[in-house]
Structure 1
Amino acid sequence: MTEKEEIISKFDPNAPGTSGNLFGLPFNNDNAELIIIPVPWEVTVSYSAGTADGPEAILEASAQVDLFVKDIPDAWKLGISMLPISPAFKRENEKYRDLAARYIQWLEENNEDWISDELKVIPATVNNICEKLNIYVKSQTMKQLERGKMVGLLGGDHSTPLGLISALSEKYDNFGILQIDAHADLRKAYEDFTYSHASIMYNAMEIQQISKLIQVGIRDFCEEEAEYIKASNGRVVTFYDEDLKSALLEGYTWENICKNIITHLPEYVYISFDIDGLDPKLCPNTGTPVPGGLEYYQVMYLFKQVVKSGRKIIGFDLNEVSPGEDEWDANVGARILYQMSNLMAVSQGRLALTV
């Protein structure tokens, strides 16, 4: 009996889980098959802050997630573990967030008299530390991939997964991104920050190995982004939330809409999930909520259909979960994280889907 088999034989998935572990599971970073990289970072957020608290809040809320999944009965046996959340990481986030906030305030005031040598260097300073973050995330990802682990990322704001996506581009020559989001995130260096949360997909599309970006639920975007999508020659395909709702009202089924979405995806798929892609009732404390959005089970159905189509999920991120004063957002986020982890494993043949 292997170490993992012994752990499984001694664990009761119906009882309270292991304190301090993600989902209460009895696994660690050595014997888990999927590693979650927490990135408590929100330096460039341009509206409400709080997403840096997302990883810790989701870790805490995950203890309340029941482990049984009716169509993936052995889901909990996969082994999911999260790397430690460094207090130093959070301190650095607060330091540079304060700097970025000062610069953003100056931009919003549009008061040239405010400009100073100190203000002028803020974008370069923030860009430098965010580039170091990307290098850190890429390094952590490469380390886990070399160990044969699957990797997911838990932010923080939506700028955080660029290092993970970059690492995957060194392993896969051709893959697509399936983005669930209220925002297109295709702005170039938004607010003068190269690695802004609003620029994540612009930066990702600079990676040549990414052949497709499929966006679902988009309902807040600027003219620059609309022009970028039009000029992409089909490399970016956007399913706007308004159009999705119109199709449903006109009698199209969600099944048919999902089939259409999936036809645009290549064999290998990376999922980027900004929680504000959901209806705000499911994430009321997220940084930039927008009316409209998808339901929880609509998104899970889409992900499941991606897996059933034979496509392989090679990585994922979940971002913009801001806990607020209660556990609701983190509760929803924890369930999304568990489902994404399980479906990624199914797509890679490490778990079986029974339906």
Structure 2
Amino acid sequence: MPSTNPYANPPAFHSDDIQPSNKYDAAFHIIPVPWETSVSYEGGTANGPNAILHASVQLEHYLDGSFPGDAGIYTAEPVDCDAPASTVVENIKVATRGALNLGKCPILLGGEHAMTLGPIQACEELDIPFGIIQFDAHADLRYAYQGNLYSHASVMERCTDLGVPLHQIGVRALCKEEVDCRAERGVTHLDAAELYWKGYPEQLLPEDFPEHVFITFDVDGLDPSIMPSTGTPVPGGLNWYQAIDGLERALKGRKLLGADFVELAPQPGQHAPDFLVANLIYKFMEIAQRLDCLKS
């Protein structure tokens, strides 16, 4: 009997116009992570990766003067997420490290934000100083949430446990514990209200921020008017061009280790948010190439 899941049997990323590359020739490795274990409001993130892949075949090959897909896109098998949280994080780390070992740029498709600990652990094993740039509505700096150390609300706490510098963009919902954590750990930030009233500063990142970076983009960092398909929408988020401008500023002069795009909770019949995330990822590829920030 055919599957009734509208997100089943996804194609490779953007494979309608772009012949999928093998993992040795592709600049970008798309890694689906259909993980949903600690969502605390609305669910559905397990379908996020497949929804992005389905939407990606509606993209145009040509984008803003170039053909980003010509650098090669390899779509890996989904990470096994049917296991305890610590094992899933290890599986994600191993998948990410496979791309990094080949000198490629891993782009992970979430899935809930808890998954980001995996690629950060993989990047740490490279023994290269690097920082995390987080686009998000939430700080995700709780020690634990609902008793879960691996919660989506604690993931950046776990990442900064490793001593990795963190800069946050677009946050507009956080608790006192997270405010204190920012101060204790030196987490720098450009919160949504400041961005709205003052715009981006000339220099987005602190002067001493590492050259190598990992981007984590929680789609609830976008305003719910353009991104309703996420578990914890918060008003006052980034619009499309603010998000693009932020990614450009974040990558300028940097070397990119990898990225993830997380927390899409697709709604059947509502395709615009799925396509938005697919388009954002393809635009991200274009920016990374144009600014020559792919790690060599």
Would you say same fold, with TM above 0.5?
Answer: yes
Equivalence for 1:320 = 263
1:23 to 2:10 alignment: no
Query: Which of 214-223 and 335-344 deviates more?
Result: 335-344
Task: Report what 1:262 is aligned to.
Answer: 205
Within 5 Å, give how 1:1-355 maps onto structure 2: 20-24=11-15, 25-30=18-23, 31-71=25-65, 73-85=66-78, 89=80, 92=82, 129-208=84-163, 210=164, 212-232=165-185, 235-247=186-198, 254=199, 257-264=200-207, 265-308=209-252, 310-325=253-268, 326-348=270-292
**Which residue does 2:3 correspond to in 1?**
none
SS of the residue 2:38 aligns to: coil
Contact 2:13–2:30 (Cα < 8 Å) also in 1: no
Checking the alignment, whether the CA contact within 8 Å between 1:151 and 1:316 is kept in structure 2 is yes
CA deviations 1:68-123 (Å, max 9, x no partner) are: 1224x14121111221237xx46x37xxxxxxxxxxxxxxxxxxxxxxxxxxxxxx
- Cα shift readout 1:24-71 (whole Å, capped 9, x = no counterpart): 220233332211111001101111001110100000000111121224
Q: Give the match's secondary structure for 1:177.
A: strand
In structure 2, distance between residues paired with 1:42 and 1:151: 20
Q: Which amino acid aligns with 1:55?
A: P
Structure 1 residues 172 and 65: alpha-carbon distance in aligned structure 2, compared to 1, 3 A threshold:
farther
Question: Could you tell me whether the CA contact under 8 Å between 2:133 and 2:250 is conserved in 1?
Answer: no
2:119, 2:196 → 1: CA distance? Answer: 32
Counterparts in 2 of 1:345 and 1:162: CA distance versus 1, 3 Å: farther
Change (3 A) 1:243 1:349: closer
* Structure 1 spans left out of the alignment, 5+ residues: 1-18, 94-128, 248-253
Greater CA radius of gyration, 1 or 2?
Answer: 1
Task: Give the SS at the match of 1:302.
Answer: helix
Distance 1:47 1:307 in 2: 32
Q: Percent sequence identity over matched residues?
A: 36
> Secondary structure of 2:154's match?
helix
- Report how far residue 346 of structure 1 moved: 4.0
The offset of 1:166, in angstroms, is 0.6
TM (normalized to structure 1)? Answer: 0.75
Could you tell me how far apart the structure 1 residues matched to 2:78 and 2:210 are?
34
The 2-side partners of 1:242 and 1:196 are apart by 26
Q: Deviations over 1:118-166 (max 9, x none)?
A: xxxxxxxxxxx11101111111122222222221111101001211111
Match of 2:6 in 1: none
Cα RMSD for the two superposed structures: 2.0
Unaligned runs of 5+ in 2: 1-9
- Determine the structure 2 residue equivalent to 1:111: none
> Aligned partners of 2:62, 2:168: CA distance in 1, in Å?
30
TM-score (norm 2): 0.89
